Chain A
Amino acid sequence: MRAVRIYQVAVIVGFVLLLEVLCLAGVIDKITMPAPHIILRDFVLMIVHRRYFSDIAITMTNVLIAFAAAFTVGVLTGTILHGYRTARDVLDPLFATYYAIPVFAFYPLFIVIFGLGDGPQLLIGFLLGVVAVIVTILNGLDRVPTVLKKTARINRLTALQTTMQVTLPFCAPYLLTAAKLALAYAFIGVIGSEFILARSGMGYEIGFAYTNFDNATMYPLILLILLMSIFANGLLSRWEKLLLARRGQH
């Protein structure tokens, strides 16, 4: 395991070093991409001078709201749908084809309905994640062993108690997978939407910097998005690993 971790770090470090060499050697044009050490320097300066903090705060708030909404609504819908076979059969084709629909294509419609504020971005972040959460929860609930449900009945638990004390705890690894998906989709949905027609946020600033050849802003913001996404997913993965280890499923 330790060796795997070393190899993982080595791959990342090797990739960054390769970029550094290619940039310094001029193989990659500095207008296209500055050398990684320059990106890092600009990143530190951005943090130290608290530049774009209001945009970062807007984006993070929207990502968190979209994530929380997709996760909560997804878990509730999945749990309720699991008890209604017919409703599930009706919705199954929609779930199966949902990700073939380009949600971003509806962005103009959302702007007409919600205006140019945060509404359309939140909605896209939510819509991208919610079905992934529902499908993951249904998948987990399908795997709850019958014997655990019988045990709940013998203990005279109500349907709600069975859900809260038996089926959802059994599905905890699936809940974490759903959380990871909802978070990833919230990032994609919110930042992607900010690129198109927003007046603030990290996506908007990256887009603005891109059109002005402002690499000193664009790359540090991209690096920040990468770091935040990796950090959040890393936390959830670590939690998932602990949970699976406790259950003997690692």
Chain B
Amino acid sequence: MSSAHVTLRGVTKVFPASGGASGVHALGPIDLDIRKGEFFAVVGPSGCGKSTLLELIAGLTAPSEGDVEFEGRKIADIPDGVGVVFQEDASFSWLNVRDNIEFSLRGKDLPPEEKARRVEAAIVMMGLTDFARTYPAQLSGGMRQRVCIARTLVMEPRLILLDEPFGALDQQTRLLMGDEILKLWRATGATVFLITHALDEAAMLADRIGVMSARPGRLIDVVETNWPRDRDSRIVERDNFGLLTSRLWKSLREESMKTMGRTMGGA
């Protein structure tokens, strides 16, 4: 049995095409072990299958070939203990902040006091105390994303999947949200899997960074950051931060050019 928290073995994803045309080979083959409690980020050119990779781990889609395992069990459907935060606004506009967060606990077999405790803790942790009765439409994009993160937190997931969660936010907010995520990661002890197109974001947050090729996405490099666990956004001031992002870019540049060429060529 693997000691890894998440394991991918020979995973590929081909999206079937209609009308007898050959399918789109989106991903793989990919082999990867994500360690328990680690912060793993994936960067790659647009359309390389990063989000597909996340959906495979989340159980939202099945691999065409290969196996994905979480805690030693093959993922066939949405596994227990996994929470996902998406790039798009996933807050429920008809529920206030508290009810949005409490949504994840509906139908869960938990005592009401425990549900209330978890919701309260998530509200405090995400700095939403003053907005508990506010509706998402009255909040900024960053605050709404906090609501979605809080909604994931109350599930007390052992694996948190983040699909470009700060993609729609400005640079300053991204840095601050990065700090929040690092705090959460330390506080919960969960394994975090982050998909991002921002090299500096990956370099600041992750213990290891997987670099993906152009479509069909494969892992072409895995970079260890060697940052201390107790870190925050000030890590960008370090000299080796620039070296790290340079290395990531070196690995990615050629792949990004392939994608750009494909796009410009209309393929």
Contact = CB atoms under 8 A, between A and B. Distances in A.
A126 B156 CA distance: 49
A247 B106 contact: no
Nearest to A243: B94
A162 to B, nearest CB: 12
A169 interface: yes
B77 to A, nearest CB: 8
A246 B94 contact: yes
A198 B215 CA distance: 70
Interface centre among A154, A155, A247 (most CB of B within 10 A): A154
21 contacts: A145-B90, A147-B86, A147-B88, A147-B89, A148-B92, A151-B84, A151-B86, A151-B90, A153-B78, A154-B58, A154-B83, A155-B103, A156-B78, A166-B92, A169-B92, A169-B94, A169-B95, A170-B92, A246-B137, A247-B137, A248-B136
Nearest to B80: A156
Contact of A154 (B82, B92, B94): B82
A165 B86 CA distance: 19
A172 B95 CA distance: 12
A145 B88 CA distance: 9
Interface in B118-142: 135-138
A50 interface: no
Interface string A128-160: 000000000000000001011011011111000
B93 A150 contact: no
A161 B107 contact: yes
Given A145-B88, A147-B90, A166-B92, A246 B135 contact: yes
Contact of B86 (A150, A243, A246, A249): A150
Interface of A: 145, 147-148, 150-151, 153-157, 161, 165-166, 169-170, 172, 243, 246-249
Given A147-B90, A148-B90, A154-B84, A248 B103 contact: no
A139 B179 CA distance: 41
Interface residues of B, number: 22
B104 A155 contact: yes
Contact of A172 (B78, B94, B106): B94
A154 to B, nearest CB: 5
B60 interface: yes
Contacts of B93: 170, 246-248
Contact of B60 (A150, A161, A165, A243): A150
Interface in B63-90: 78, 82-84, 86, 88-90
B137 A165 contact: no
Nearest to A157: B107
B88 A154 contact: no
Contact of B135 (A145, A151, A169, A247): A247
Contacts of A145: 88, 90
B231 to A, nearest CB: 28
Contacts of B88: 145, 147
A169 B137 CA distance: 15
A247 B86 contact: no
A202 B82 CA distance: 61
A170 B89 contact: no
